[in-house]
Amino acid sequence: MKKHKKKIIAGVIIAAILSFAFLWCDNAAGPHSRDAKNSESTKVTKTEELSKIPENFPSAESFQKTDEQTETEGNADLAEDIPLYSPSQTPSKDVSYSEQNGMDIKDDTGKDEYQTEPVSEGNPVPIEPENTVISDKELTCTMSVRCDTILENIAWLDKEKTELVPKDGVIYGEQTVTFYEGESVFNLLVREMKRNKIHLEFENTPIYNSAYIEGIGNLYEFDCGELSGWMYRVNGWFPNYGCSRYQLKAGDKVEWVYTCDLGRDIGGDYSSRNGK
C-alpha cells in the first residue's frame, strides 16, 4: 500500500483535474447548452442509431451541419458525417434539379466537389468565383447587416464586446447598393464594409472554395456563446454554400445576420432549410 501511495495520489489528482475541466467547459456551451449536451450524447451512440436516423436526424445532427458553421469544423467531422448524408437522405428531385443546373454531385458522397449538398429545388446553385467574369454593367440589390440575436442573448456576449453592439441591432441598415454583374455576395460585402469603414475579417477556405466571414464590426464568431457566428440569407433563403459562390442577381435582398444558436434562432438551421 505504502509503495503505491504516490501512484494513487497521482491518479486522484489527474481524475480531479479532468472532472474539473469537464464541468468547467460544460458551462460554456452557449444559449442552448442543454440541447447541445443531448446532441453530444446522441453522437456517442451514433453507431447504434444509424439504423433509425430519419427521425433523429434534425435534432441530433443539425448542430454539425449549418452552412457556414461547418466550415469551422475539420475534415474529420465531415468524413464522419458522410454516411448520414447518403444520397437517399436528400430528396431525389433536389439532386436532379441541382445537376440540371450544373452542380456535379458525386455518387458516393452525395455532395459536390466542395462538400456542398444538392441545393433545394427552386434556389440558385453555387457558381465558382474563379469561373465568373465580372463585367462593367452596374446592377443594384439591397443589403443589410444585423445582430438582433445578440441583444436577446446579451448575457452570453463577451463582456469586452458589449459596447460594440448597436442599441437596435443594426450594424448596416438595409439600403440599395450597386454591384457589377458577376459579383458574389462576398465581393459586395467586402466593398460595402470598406466603403462604410466597418471592420470585417474573413478567411479563405479552399476546401469549400469560399471565404468564411469570421467577424463584422469586431463581432466575431463564438463571441456570443459557442454556437454563434455570421450567416447570410438571400431573398429569405439561407444558402447551403459559402458566400463567394453565391452570384448576385439584380434586385436580390441580401441579409447578413448574427446567430447565437447555429442558425435556429434566425430560422436558418439545417432542418428548416430542407423543409423537415
Site residues, another protein (CB under 8 A): 160-161, 164, 190, 194, 197, 199-202, 204, 215, 218, 220
For another protein, which is the closer residue by CB, 92 or 204?
204
Whole-number minimum distance, CB 5 to another protein, in Å? 12
For another protein, which is the closer residue by CB, 105 or 150?
150
> What is the chain's length?
276
Dihedral angle of Cα 42, 46, 49, 52, to the nearest 10 degrees: 90
DSSP class of 136:
S
Distance CA 276, CA 272 (A): 6
Query: DSSP labels for 45-94?
Result: THHHHGGGHHHHHHHHHTTT--GGGGGGS-HHHHHHHGGGG-GGGS-HHH
Whole-number minimum distance, CB 198 to another protein, in Å? 9
For another protein, which is the closer residue by CB, 136 or 160?
160
Distance CA 100, CA 93 (A): 10
Whole-number minimum distance, CB 219 to another protein, in Å? 9
Whole-number minimum distance, CB 190 to another protein, in Å? 5
* Cell (9 digits) for 30: 452557449
- Sequence letter at residue 125: V
Whole-number minimum distance, CB 202 to another protein, in Å? 7
For another protein, which is the closer residue by CB, 1 or 76?
1
